[in-house]
Amino acid sequence: MEKNNQTDPPLAYKLRPKNLQDFFGQNKAVGPESFLYKAIQQDRVPSLVFWGPPGSGKTTLASIIAGQTDSVFLELSAVTSGVKDLRKIIDKAREAEWEEKKTILFIDEIHRWNKNQQDALLPHIENGTITLIGATTENPGFSINSPLLSRIKVIVLESLKTEDLVQIIKKALKNFQTETSKDTINLIARIANGDARAALNILESCLAEKPKKITPDLVKKIIEKPQLLHDRQGEEHYNLISALIKSMRGSDPNAALYWLARLLEGGEDPMFVARRLVIFASEDIGLANNSALLLANAAFDACRNIGMPECWINLSHTVSYLAKSPKSNATYEAYKKAKQDVYEHGNLPVPPYLKNAPTEFMKNLGYGQGYKYPHSENDQNQDYLPPELKNKKYLG
Is the model's pLDDT at 279 over the cut of 90?
A: yes
For residues 316 and 378, membership in a common domain is answered with: no
Higher-confidence position of 53 and 337: 337
CA 173-176-181 angle, to 5 degrees, is: 50
Higher pLDDT pick, 6 / 177:
177
Residue 31 within a domain: yes
Q: Do 149 and 257 fall within a single domain? A: no
Taking the mean position of all CA atoms in its chain, how far away is CA 207?
Answer: 33
pLDDT band at 153 (very low <50, low <70, confident <90, very high): very high
Looking only at the bridges linking them, the beta strands covering 213-214 and 179-180 are parallel
104 SS3 class: strand
User: 389: Cβ–Cβ under 8 A, 6 or more apart, which residues?
Assistant: 341, 345, 348
Domain co-membership, 151 together with 167: no
End-to-end CA distance of the chain: 74
Strand 103-108 vs strand 131-136: parallel, antiparallel, or unpaired? Answer: parallel
Query: Is residue 38 domain-shared with residue 104, that is, in the same domain?
Result: yes
Give 80-112 pLDDT, tens digit per residue.
888 999 999 999 999 988 888 889 999 999 999
Q: For residue range 1-46, list pLDDT tens digits in order.
A: 444 444 567 888 888 888 888 888 888 999 889 999 999 888 889 9
Average pLDDT for 143-151: 91
> Do β-strands 103-108 and 72-77 pair in parallel, antiparallel, or remain unpaired?
parallel
Q: Could you give the angle at which helices 291-306 and 270-280 cross, rounded to 10 degrees?
A: 170
pLDDT at 232 over 60: no
Does residue 102 contact residue 69 with C-beta atoms inside 8 Å? Answer: yes
Tell me if 195 is assigned to some domain: yes
Residue 334 near residue 395, CB atoms below 8 Å = yes
- Residues with Cβ within 8 Å of residue 340, at least 6 apart in sequence: none
How many independent structural domains does the chain possess? 4
* Confidence label for 253 from pLDDT (cuts 50, 70 and 90): very high
CATH number at residue 252: 1.20.272.10
Q: Are residues 89 and 130 in the same domain?
A: yes
Same domain, 251 and 217: no
* CATH for 83: 3.40.50.300
Shared domain for 150 and 254, answered yes or no, is: no
Domain that holds residue 171: 162-222
Instruction: State whether 47 and 131 are in the same domain.
Output: yes
Q: In 69-176, where does DSSP find H-type helix?
A: 83-98, 115-119, 122-126, 140-143, 146-149, 162-173
Residue 228 lies in a domain: no
Residue 379 is predicted with a pLDDT of 66
User: 261 lies in a domain?
Assistant: yes
Answer whether residue 136 shows pLDDT above 80: yes
Distance from C-alpha of 342 to C-alpha of 112, rounded to nearest angstrom: 41
Instruction: Report whether pLDDT(326) > 90.
Output: yes
- Residues 19 and 64 sit within 8 Å (Cβ to Cβ): yes
Q: Strands (DSSP E) along 3-137, which ranges? A: 48-51, 72-77, 103-108, 131-136
Residue 128 falls within a domain, yes or no?
A: yes
Q: 138, 156, 174 — which closes off a domain?
A: 156
Q: Domain of 187: which CATH number? A: 1.10.8.60
Domain end marker among 283, 303, 324? 324
Q: Is the pLDDT of residue 228 over 90?
A: no
Q: Cβ distance 326 to 374 under 8 Å?
A: no
Q: Is 38 within the bounds of a domain?
A: yes
Domain closes at, from 156, 173, 193: 156
* Shared-domain flag, residues 244 and 319: yes
141 and 37 in a single domain? The answer is yes
Domain contains 295: yes
Structure confidence by residue, pLDDT tens digits, 199-212: 898 898 888 888 88
d(CA 110, CA 108): 5
Are 271 and 312 in the same domain?
Answer: yes
pLDDT reported for residue 284: 96
